Amino acid sequence: MLDVNMPARVVVRQVLYGKGYFRQRLGVEVTVAGNWTHLGSCPDAAVVELGGYKSFWFFRAWPR
């Protein structure tokens, strides 16, 4: 899950580290990115696409 409230370079670092971790430890290629958001912030589409993700899911946090 990406923390998109940070600068783009930090998001790119999260993509590289996270995908590398899952590839090394679990032997899987992560293709879905996700984010819990209450601010409506989403990563740039280019970051998601260049990171090798095929889809991006986001969820809104509501009080109920």
Domain ranges of the chain: 8-60
CA–CA distances in Å: residue 60 to residues 12, 20, 38: 23, 28, 5
Model confidence, pTM: 0.62
Residues 40-51: tens digit of each pLDDT = 556 667 777 888
Q: What is the Cα–Cα distance from 32 to 7, expressed in whole angstroms?
A: 21
Predicted local confidence at residue 22, as pLDDT: 93
